[in-house]
Chains A and B, each alone.
Chain A
Amino acid sequence: MIKKTILLIISFVVIVCSKAQNGADSLANQLNLSKDSSAIELLKRDGKIYTVVAVLLLILICVFLYLWRLDRKIEKLNN
């Protein structure tokens, strides 16, 4: 079960990273942030605060996914 969970989280991180890159790309394009815009470019801007935001969002997503799974498991046991 632990193995499964770790695998789930890792796969999720990979998905989020790839998706986030696309999302950040279009966001950067829309905002016209830089000419050769990419997620890394966005993360390197200014005081690099976007990096912290991305990290915190990833932590938040993982915590909520874990809670969701835990909720399901306990619900199953209760029935």
Chain B
Amino acid sequence: MQKNWWKILAFLLLAYTIIAGFLVKMPSMQQLAQNEESTRNVFFHVPMWFGMILLYTISFGYTIKFLSKFNFTHDARAASFARIGLFFNILGILTGMIWARVAWGEYWNNDPKQVGAALCLLIYMAYFILRQSLKDEDKKARISAVYNVFAYFLMFPAIYIIPSLMASQHPNTAGDESFMVFKMNPALRYVFYPAVLGWTLLGIWIAQLHFKIEKLKQLN
């Protein structure tokens, strides 16, 4: 139980997210008078991306560990965390598409951030294709570790830096004319940050389960 306290914390944080996320009064925004309630998606869609970045970061950390010590356990852990990060990436794109249909009119608007997110998805998918294409364990671990470093540093330009410079409809970008939820109402942060932590902890838990299963597979 003492080792598992963070799993209970993840549950409590997510329960809090659901309760507060649905019941908190959203600030009224003139630009989005009709979409006011849909901005609750900030508590559910955006944490997918924050969770994804954190999971990819953990994967990156294990990759660096592997490259410095060549312990294959680290490589397996890096792969597990990247896989759950990929899962969050897909969920982020899908939830974003549902929201985009309501807020911007189309599921896919070729918004710079959408394209960047898809690019990020492809980059990390290539990581798994690379892993599966190599049979030799040693080669597989080394080459995919180097690729993972490359993928991690390509993720930031893809999902953050380039879209920030372009005319995107997302908040905090050059073309942003829409709502700035967090600038308008800092109180919403009290729901948002626990949500990010809760989803990330859940992701870490699932990644650990995935790692344990992979370990069992290798034993058999």
Interface residues in chain A, defined as those with a beta carbon under 8 Å from any beta carbon in chain B: 49, 52-53, 56-57, 60-61, 64, 67-68, 70-71, 74-75, 77-78
A67–B206 CB distance below 8 A: yes
A interface, over-half SS: helix
A74–B209 CB distance below 8 A: yes
Q: Determine the distance from Cα of A52 to Cα of B7 in the docked complex, in whole angstroms.
A: 24
B215–A78 CB distance below 8 A: yes
Known: A64-B11, A71-B209. A57 touches B19 (CB 8 A): yes
Measured CB to CB, the closest approach of chain B to A17, in angstroms, equals 16
Known: A60-B15, A68-B7, A74-B216. A52 touches B209 (CB 8 A): no
A56–B212 CB distance below 8 A: no
Pick the residue among B11, B22, B205, B212 that contacts A52 (CB under 8 A): B22
Q: 4 shortest A-B CB distances, which residue pairs?
A: A74-B212, A56-B18, A64-B11, A53-B22
Measured CB to CB, the closest approach of chain B to A12, in angstroms, equals 14
Q: Contacts of A75 on B, CB cut-off 8 Å?
A: 212
Which residues of chain B (3-22) have a CB below 8 Å from chain A? 7, 10-11, 14-15, 18-19, 22
Question: How many residues of chain B are within 8 Å of chain A by beta carbon?
Answer: 16
A60–B14 CB distance below 8 A: yes
List 8 other contacts, CB 8 Å, given A67-B209, A71-B7. A57-B15, A60-B14, A60-B18, A61-B11, A64-B7, A67-B205, A70-B209, A78-B212
Q: Determine the distance from Cα of A21 to Cα of B10 in the docked complex, in whole angstroms.
A: 25
| B33 is an interface residue with CB less than 8 A from chain A | no
| B129 is an interface residue with CB less than 8 A from chain A | no
Known: A70-B209, A74-B213. A49 touches B11 (CB 8 A): no
Q: Contacts of B22 on A, CB cut-off 8 Å?
A: 49, 52-53, 56
Measured CB to CB, the closest approach of chain A to B169, in angstroms, equals 27
Q: Contacts of A68 on B, CB cut-off 8 Å?
A: 7
Of chain A, the residue at the smallest CB distance from B11 is: A64
A78–B216 CB distance below 8 A: yes
Q: Contacts of A60 on B, CB cut-off 8 Å?
A: 11, 14-15, 18
Q: Determine the distance from Cα of A49 to Cα of B11 in the docked complex, in whole angstroms.
A: 21
29 A–B contacts from the bound complex (CB under 8 Å): A49-B22, A52-B22, A53-B18, A53-B22, A53-B23, A56-B18, A56-B22, A57-B18, A60-B15, A60-B18, A61-B11, A64-B10, A64-B11, A67-B7, A67-B205, A67-B206, A67-B209, A68-B7, A70-B209, A71-B7, A71-B205, A71-B209, A74-B209, A74-B212, A74-B213, A74-B216, A77-B216, A78-B215, A78-B216
